[in-house]
Amino acid sequence: MSSSIKNDWVLKVENLTKIYGSYSDETIALTGPQRGTNICPITGSIVACANISFELYPGEVLGIVGESGSGKSTIVKQLFFDMEVTNGNAYLKPYKNGTVNILTESNQKKRYMRNHLMGMVYQNPRDGLNFSFTSGGNIAEKLLMADMFHVGKIRERASSLLSKTEVPVARMDDLPAYFSGGMQQRVQISKAIANNPPLLFLDEITSGLDVSVQAKVLDLIRGLQRELGIAMIVVSHDLSVIRMLTDRTLVLKDGRIVERGLTDQILQDPQHEYTQLLVSSLL
């Protein structure tokens, strides 16, 4: 039975590595949490993340936590093809049944995966939304990318998404530039889930928002997750966000996973020194 569960992953990542600058064979050994640095003392190259391996199961929410510069965003950016990888494999179940390394596919194929099988919500709405198009248009863009060419259906879908994310539908044809930060973030979430992707990346989505709006956005994500069963990877430096949203957590330090496990377990009984520090500094 355990084997059948094992094969059930949506996303499998093996040895994901990103190094900036020219590096030598020892670079990875000379950096990391034991060394307390991610800069190679010999080559001067920067190891953003190294040997990251994990699996994500359907409907699961995986948290990635760590201080700034620990490589959290690098991981999701590589998986969303915003960034080239240095090394590593990733397999996506809905794409060719998970038999192909998606990181080495052609740009056209990567675009297909991004448009049809993935969604991404960035910290800054300006990265995920086009501010010169209306909010409805931004959602339409995602639907057009996924080959929906019926204006009536596009508008129907956009308005249902906006009402689901509590953006007034009357403002569908306004530019997101005129929206508040929280509303922009909710439009961005609508856009990311427009084509019902099986996989969603959330990169520090609440960092720029005030506390009451944060709570609303987190509530929204939780609701969507329950309703649609999307598998998510949540990147945050904020343990309360991780606690609220995720089932399982990876703790990152200097580009390596230092601890992994159930979120509750990690927060109650942190094993690694760094995790203990992180949990004890929680306000």
Partner 1 sequence: MIENIKFNSSYNFAFIDETTKKEIRRKLLKAICIPGYQVPYSSPEMPIARGWGTGGLHLTLALIGKTDTLKMIDQGSDASVNACNLRDFVQLTTNCKTTYDTNEATLIQTRHRITEEKLTDKQIMVFQVPQPEPLRRVERYEYKTRQMHAESDYAKMWLTLYEAFVKWGDVMHGAGYPVMVNGRYIMSPSPIPRWDVPNLNMADCIYLFGAGREKRLYAVPPHTRVEPLEFEDVKFHIENFKDVKCESTGYNIAYMDEMYQDDGITKKFYINDSNFLDKMIEKIAVNQHSNKYINQLKKNEQ
The string over 202-220, giving b where at least 16 C-beta atoms fall within 10 Å of a residue's C-beta and e elsewhere, is: bbbbbeebeeebbebbbeb
Number of residues that bind partner 1 (CB under 8 A): 21
Nearer to partner 1, 109 or 216 (CB): 109
Residue appearing with tokens 């950016």: 77
User: Which part of the chain contacts partner 1 (CB under 8 A), choosing from 92-100, 141-149, 234-242, 269-277?
Assistant: 141-149
Cβ 106 to partner 1, closest distance in Å?
A: 9
How far, in Å, CA of 237 to CA of 249, rounded? 12
Under the criterion CB under 8 A, does residue 19 sit at the interface with partner 1? no
Under the criterion CB under 8 A, does residue 151 sit at the interface with partner 1? yes
Under the criterion CB under 8 A, does residue 118 sit at the interface with partner 1? no
How far, in Å, CA of 201 to CA of 193, rounded? 10
Under the criterion CB under 8 A, does residue 270 sit at the interface with partner 1? no
User: Which part of the chain contacts partner 1 (CB under 8 A), choosing from 89-97, 145-153, 193-201, 226-234?
Assistant: 145-153
Q: Which amino acid is at 44?
A: G
In the window 169-188, what residues touch partner 1 (CB under 8 A)? 173
How far, in Å, CA of 74 to CA of 209, rounded? 22
**For partner 1, which residue of 14, 55, 82, 141 counts as binding (CB under 8 A)?**
141
Q: Which amino acid is at 209?
A: L
Read off the DSSP letter of residue 97.
G
Under the criterion CB under 8 A, does residue 145 sit at the interface with partner 1? yes
**For partner 1, which residue of 2, 68, 107, 212 counts as binding (CB under 8 A)?**
107
Q: Which amino acid is at 21?
A: G
Nearer to partner 1, 88 or 128 (CB): 128
Under the criterion CB under 8 A, does residue 150 sit at the interface with partner 1? yes
How far, in Å, CA of 111 to CA of 117, rounded? 10
Instruction: State the number of CA atoms in the 13 A half-sphere of 147 facing the CB.
Output: 6
Nearer to partner 1, 6 or 150 (CB): 150
Among 175, 119, 172, CA closest to 145: 119
| Structural tokens at position 274 | 């760094």
How far, in Å, CA of 159 to CA of 220, rounded? 16
How far, in Å, CA of 195 to CA of 197, rounded? 6
Cβ 76 to partner 1, closest distance in Å?
A: 21
Among 16, 25, 4, CA closest to 233: 16
Under the criterion CB under 8 A, does residue 126 sit at the interface with partner 1? no
User: Per-residue contact track with partner 1, 65 to 104, x per CB under 8 A?
Assistant: ----------------------------------------
Under the criterion CB under 8 A, does residue 193 sit at the interface with partner 1? no
How far, in Å, CA of 213 to CA of 129, rounded? 19
Under the criterion CB under 8 A, does residue 133 sit at the interface with partner 1? yes
3-state secondary structure of 40: coil
**For partner 1, which residue of 32, 137, 182, 197 counts as binding (CB under 8 A)?**
137
Nearer to partner 1, 96 or 150 (CB): 150
Under the criterion CB under 8 A, does residue 152 sit at the interface with partner 1? yes
Return residues touching partner 1 (CB under 8 A). Answer: 107-108, 111, 115, 133-134, 136-137, 140-142, 144-145, 149-155, 173
